[in-house]
Amino acid sequence: MTMPTHPRIPTTLPAALLAALLLAVAPAALAGGSPPKAHASASYLTGIGDQQTEMFSNRLWQQLHTKIARYIAPYDAAARPFSLQAAARWIATAEAQHQRVLVAFYHSEYTPTRMPSVGVYTRDVKKFIALFPRVRDYQAWNETNRGTIVESVKGKRHIGLVSPTPTQSAQYYKALRSVCKGCTITGLDILDGQSIGPSLSYIAQFKHALAHLKVPMPQLWGLHNYSDTNRFSSARTRAVLAAVPGQVWLTETGGIVKFGGAFPNVKGSGLRRASKALSYMFHLAASNSRIKRLYIFQWSGARGAVRFDAGLTDPHFNPRPGYVTVCRQLHAAKCSMKTSNR
């Protein structure tokens, strides 16, 4: 559902600035209806996924007391000064706030319609991992089954980005395992979609490709269950849980304020709907003890006429109803709506 929001600017970052940024990486001090019944023993960590650093200095975020955060980095960030600058700044800021960072690799901001060869992918992610030794949680490719995205620019339609095939995803997973020994790596980062059938087929093909590559079956998987969360269903999440072994992290999910024509925001209706979806999201995460992490996307609402908005705060970092829902879930009545230090 997401993609890095940095513009594709082929600038050259001054060496001194890049060095300062890298040195700044401080040590990490169900069908619809009623929600599924939660397991009493369920226990999962909750954090936020966002591409901007402003979140970390915001009082509203700080009072959530989360310990995990997720960032989407282009697979070639280490070879692209602008992408590296953005990643270094975000990771440094997150680690200064004692966050355990999960990095999901994604398409290049410069060549989003071209999938890298296994050799290029291996070379670039190896460089990235060496630059950020405190980051130990990774995903080989963000939302791997998203498919081809067609964009409209000035009235003309063109391909905005492409996604890896199940075989390519297996190859990238194997490559990431080979260069990040001892790291925690999800087998796939899969989107549920309105129809779960294609997602289950993708998982099956990925597992077949792993067997062909003689790679052990992953015991950790990432899931973006937007469809279940926002349609108040558990069917897709349960189907994915049944299709994979081990733990599942909900690596991206949240209450959609606006998404095209499927989830419009008419006279504030999207804000109310998103708040209810976020409440359901917590019930869904607690419904299965194999779900161990929950990453809510996103922190700040989008500016302008963008298609997708799931922000817990508005573009000016003021709390939305969804933020109130999240804060109360995490800390009951100890939530302040003051935003004076944003």
First-to-last C-alpha distance (Å) of the chain: 27
* pLDDT, position 332: 61
Polymer length of the chain: 342
Residue 253 to residue 47: CA distance in whole angstroms = 11
CATH code matching the domain that covers 45-331, chosen among 3.20.20.80, 3.40.50.300, 3.40.630.30, 3.40.50.970: 3.20.20.80
Q: What is the pTM of this model?
A: 0.88
pLDDT tens, per residue, the chain with 342 residues: 654 444 333 334 444 444 444 444 433 333 444 555 544 345 899 999 999 999 999 999 999 999 999 999 999 999 999 999 999 999 999 999 999 999 999 999 999 889 999 999 999 999 999 999 999 999 999 999 987 776 665 667 667 778 999 999 999 999 999 999 999 999 999 999 999 999 999 999 999 999 999 999 999 999 999 999 999 999 999 999 999 999 999 999 999 998 877 777 766 789 999 999 999 999 999 999 999 999 999 999 877 667 789 999 999 999 999 999 999 999 766 787 776 554
HSE, CB side, 13 Å, CA atoms: give it for residue 277.
25
Closest CA to 169 of 194, 145, 193, 137: 145
Q: Are 121 and 172 in contact (CB under 8 A)?
A: yes
* pLDDT, position 16: 46
HSE, CB side, 13 Å, CA atoms: give it for residue 108.
19
Residue 291 to residue 85: CA distance in whole angstroms = 33
Helix (H, G, I), strand (E, B) or coil at 204: helix
* pLDDT, position 342: 47
The position carrying tokens 């949680």 is 137
From residue 238, give the alpha-carbon distance in Å to each of 45, 195, 202, 223, 293.
19, 13, 16, 11, 16
CA angle centred on 291, ends 289 and 294, rounded to 5°: 135
Tell me: cis bond preceding 298? Omega within 30 of 0 counts: yes
Sign of torsion over alpha carbons 253, 192, 6, 82: positive
Residue 150 to residue 152: CA distance in whole angstroms = 7
* pLDDT, position 260: 72
Q: Is 272 left (phi over 0), alpha (psi -120 to 50) or beta?
A: alpha
Q: Are 69 and 49 in contact (CB under 8 A)?
A: yes
